[in-house]
Structure 1
Amino acid sequence: MHYDVIVIGAGSMGIAAGYFLSKSGKKTLLVDSFNPPHNKGSHHGDTRIIRHAYGEGEEYVPLALKAQELWNDLEKVTGKQLFLQTGVLNVGHEKTNFIQNIISSSKAYSLPLEVLDSSEVNKRWPGIALPDKYIGCFEPTSGVLKCEECIKAYRELAERHGATILTNSKVKELSVNDKRVTVKIEDQTFNADALVVSAGAWSGSLLSILDLNLPLNPVRKTFAWFDANEDLYNYKNFPAFSFETSQGQYYGFPSINGSGLKVGRHDGGETINPDEAIPGFGEREEDTTDLRQFLHHYMPSTQQLKYGKTCMYTLTPDEDFIIDLHPNYSNVAIASGFSGHGFKFSSVVGQILSELIISGKTEQNISPFSINRFK
């Protein structure tokens, strides 16, 4: 069967691309090894943070603002609440690149940001105990995305616009030339004019078939929920947060409808093979000790562990994204290496992928995410 576009990987980026492509009138097939949203990749666990003043670099700010606009649009179209404006508190030493980037990007783009010393943070949010050496940068217009609900929403809309979604289907063979894409799945073969590869931790092995060897490193990550005092930590009073500390980088979420305080460690993690069973939460001692250490230092009012989960990051060497066309095939668009901070951008990345396929270019500046930087 022939399609205009085949999308391999129907997770966050892929399903958004499928929506924008099908909405534009492209006959679109999405293929996924699982059944999105699922717990086999990077974007499960109920919630993800969306930040606008961006500690990873000012080049992300226009994408973050466009992504927020598209998430708001998705809420309007579906009638679902997908975003909670809890605000986001970014904490760290004042002189770190992370904090300096947040402050400078807020000034460059006139974003609302409150810079607070430790005593001001502790007074506003009694559930936090910051030492004197840290400051807090509070973004009141940022917040939390319901990640699995977002994926479901894009999936429903993509199907409504005529996209076909083939789930629990692993790609067995893949070939491409300038005019044709062929994808084989079990005993079925599909053809298309163009291809999108957005397969998360599996992107590296797929792209190697197309003679593109990218430095992608899948790592195991964990996060957990803790019993918490709802008066201190509920989402109407307490923000999502990102902490850069001398012990490591941590992030987390307020208790949403009694879920408990959710915390994860952003840095670290062990390299894994995504095709092999990933050790479950608690099978590594650091799964709990890292999080308990963080809470003991900075949020001592939290109580016992409720439960934890594992997921995967797919890291690039510089921890910046890959969003580009294949250097040898202008009909192949690639989105990968989101390095643990990509979900918030999946709405705009989906739109970018559709633009690259339809016209070969995009309105967004994706030059920082070029494949050529790895040569």
Structure 2
Amino acid sequence: MAPTVIVIGLGGMGSAAAASLAQRGCRVIGVERYWPTHDRGSSHGESRVIRLAYFSDPAHVPFAQEAYPLWQRLERDSGTELVTPCDAVIVGPEGGEEVTASTTVADQLGQPYELLTPSEVTKRWSTLTPPPGTLTFLDHSQGVIRPEAAVSANLALAARNGAELHFDTAVESWSAGDSGVTVTTSAGEFTADHLVITPGAWASDILAAPGIPMEIGRLVQVWVRPAADLSLFAVDRHPRFALEDEAGRVASGFALLPGHSLVKVAFIKGPDASTPTTPDTFRREASAAEVESVIDYMGRLIPSLRGQEAERARGCIYAKTPDDNFVIGPHPEHENVTIGAAFSVHGFKFVPVVGEILADLALDGRSDRDINVFSPLRFQDTASSASAQ
């Protein structure tokens, strides 16, 4: 008899886990506190990046390589276009972290790239004027993922394969024992053989694992219309872009997908990138100062953004660990509970890979992929070493 698995949280990772489990013949019960493809978590905002020259941690590189064909498979299975290939430029000071790390990883992978001077960049794209003294890393292998469409595709696949998906359903408590797991919700009680928890920013509330430190933060996404010919910013003509300054601040943005007319920009690193928050105190509205700051900063690279008013701006909540790495593995206290957490800021590109890993762990208790660096137990190991010194 096929096992029953409950999945708490149906955002990017949870929807992928539900789809993978349902496709393997499991009975899947999905529980989500909000509506499908909602904007209250970290799986929205119209665009996410996928790239191979990925330097946050060497352990991520195999995941990045595997993600491309898995996204293509999801597109075939769902009949939905989810990833648009594009060029990308990373602009930064000579010796800056972003360009240096990108070239190092690209060299290790044997991935072709170009290093351009400011004048060479402007010659190719009249919209871009990199600051003097910068280098530009040009990557031809990136892509733009549509997060809402990706979540929707996985939810549809899960439902098509028999998953029971419960939305607008808050989790009140859960328990695990030798006989299985029980989840109590606002819509009643569910029981199963295994529980997968993909809680997003609600990790501290739902995981019940005090040994896993989690930082909850808020960043601001801004949509602005350039004061230039919009056709120049179309994704088939214009690269995705990022700018690092001498202080290490980084902001990035996206070219226009078909049917879109606003450029999206946001700080992703540095003191302007995020502020601490909680799910209960999270502020979705962006202040005028926050909006002006990111537009002014990105105006250094794209002059046609300077002085433009944002047409939309929203706060986005995220969860991360102190070491900026994911949490994937068995719950420290319950072998029939699997955790997938702390993916925000740079994890969405790995959605189909993580979905498969979570399904592997739920069904087999292990994964053939190397996930040791993501172990929930690593923080306990660190705490033990510190106390012994």
Query: Which category describes the TM-score, using the shorter chain as reference length?
Result: over 0.9
Normalised by the size of structure 2, how large is the TM-score?
0.90
Selected match of 1:295 from 295, 298, 304: 298
Stretch of structure 1 that moved more, 27-36 or 303-312 = 303-312
- AA of the residue aligned to 2:268: H
Separation (CA, whole Å) in 2 of partners of 1:75 and 1:187: 33
User: What's the CA shift string for 1:139-196, capped at 9, x where partnerless?
Assistant: 2121101110111111101100111111011111111124411100125111111111
1:169 alignment partner, SS class: coil
Q: Structure 2: which 5+ runs fail to align?
A: 381-389
Shift of 1:133: 2.5
Separation (CA, whole Å) in 2 of partners of 1:362 and 1:133: 46
Q: Is the aligned partner of 1:280 residue 2:282?
A: no
Q: Structure 1: which 5+ runs fail to align?
A: none
Q: How does 1:46-61 map to 2 (within 5 A)?
A: 46-61=46-61
User: What's the CA shift string for 1:10-63, capped at 9, x where partnerless?
Assistant: 000000000000101111111010012001001111111111111313321111
* Corresponding position of 1:186: 186
Separation (CA, whole Å) in 2 of partners of 1:63 and 1:146: 19
Q: Is the 8 Å Cα contact of residues 178 and 330 (structure 1) preserved in structure 2?
A: no
Separation (CA, whole Å) in 1 of partners of 2:373 and 2:243: 25
Q: Is the aligned partner of 1:250 residue 2:251?
A: yes
Separation (CA, whole Å) in 2 of partners of 1:357 and 1:100: 39
Separation (CA, whole Å) in 2 of partners of 1:280 and 1:271: 15
> Structure 2 vs 1, CA of residues 98 and 81 (structure 1 numbering), >3 Å: closer, same or farther?
same
Separation (CA, whole Å) in 1 of partners of 2:239 and 2:99: 17
> Structure 2 vs 1, CA of residues 325 and 101 (structure 1 numbering), >3 Å: closer, same or farther?
farther
Q: Is the aligned partner of 1:224 residue 2:222?
A: yes
* Corresponding position of 1:107: 107
> Structure 2 vs 1, CA of residues 367 and 149 (structure 1 numbering), >3 Å: closer, same or farther?
same
| Aligned alpha-carbon RMSD (Å) | 1.8
User: What's the CA shift string for 1:83-125, capped at 9, x where partnerless?
Assistant: 1112222222342343333222222222232222332222222
Stretch of structure 1 that moved more, 241-250 or 197-206 = 241-250
Q: Is the 8 Å Cα contact of residues 265 and 295 (structure 2) preserved in structure 1?
A: no
Q: Is the 8 Å Cα contact of residues 243 and 301 (structure 2) preserved in structure 1?
A: no
Identity of aligned residues (%): 32
Q: Is the 8 Å Cα contact of residues 320 and 339 (structure 1) preserved in structure 2?
A: no
Q: Is the 8 Å Cα contact of residues 82 and 146 (structure 2) preserved in structure 1?
A: yes
User: What's the CA shift string for 1:297-356, capped at 9, x where partnerless?
Assistant: 111122432211221121211211111221232221111112411111111111110111
* Corresponding position of 2:327: 322
Separation (CA, whole Å) in 1 of partners of 2:357 and 2:260: 36
* Corresponding position of 2:315: 310
Separation (CA, whole Å) in 2 of partners of 1:287 and 1:3: 48
Q: Is the 8 Å Cα contact of residues 175 and 183 (structure 2) preserved in structure 1?
A: yes
Separation (CA, whole Å) in 1 of partners of 2:92 and 2:368: 34
